[in-house]
């Protein structure tokens, strides 16, 4: 009679199941570790950086980050949409959306 062999126990970390992301908190931690800012200054600097980007985009200005890419505001026209469950036509209002276009240098870096 064959005895069943035990399957190896596999330990999965919750983090391994999530998509890795570079967060504002991680950016602040990197500023703390690599540049020597205190944690509060690092957090404030990261927040200020993103606040500037949001403010510029809100005013309709493009944001260009050298060797990284461009953020632009695009106005989308109103259009008819459709509820996928019922098939009912629903109007979609005009809105502004942010688009990002990677720079050629960033694209080249990603291909390495």
Q: Which domain holds residue 79?
A: 23-110
**How many structural domains are present in the chain?**
1
Best CA proximity match to 92, nearest among 102, 77, 74, 72? 77
**pTM for this entry:** 0.69
User: What pLDDT score does 105 carry?
Assistant: 95
pLDDT band at 8 (very low <50, low <70, confident <90, very high): very low
User: Which residue intervals of the chain are DSSP H helices?
Assistant: 14-17, 24-35, 39-58, 104-110
Average pLDDT over residues 29-52: 93
Average pLDDT over residues 15-28: 77
CATH number at residue 36: 4.10.520.10
- In three-state secondary structure terms, 20 is coil
Residue 92, domain member (yes or no) = yes
Note the pLDDT tens digit of each residue in 92-106.
Answer: 999 999 999 999 999
Residue 42, domain member (yes or no) = yes
Alpha carbon distance 24, 43 (integer Å): 8
Asked if pLDDT for residue 56 goes beyond 90, the answer is yes
Residue 94, domain member (yes or no) = yes
Percent of the chain with pLDDT over 90: 71
């Amino acid at each position: 009679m064959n005895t069943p062999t035990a399957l190896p126990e596999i330990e999965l970390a919750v983090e391994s199941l999530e998509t890795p992301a570079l967060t504002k908190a991680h950016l602040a931690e990197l500023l703390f570790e690599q540049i020597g800012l205190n944690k509060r200054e690092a957090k404030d600097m990261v927040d200020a950086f993103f606040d500037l980007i949001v403010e510029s985009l809100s005013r309709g200005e493009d944001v260009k980050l050298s060797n990284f890419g461009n953020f632009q505001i695009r106005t989308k026209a109103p259009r008819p949409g459709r509820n996928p469950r019922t098939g009912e036509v629903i109007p979609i209002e005009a809105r502004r959306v942010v688009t990002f276009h990677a720079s050629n240098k960033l694209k080249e870096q990603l291909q390495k």
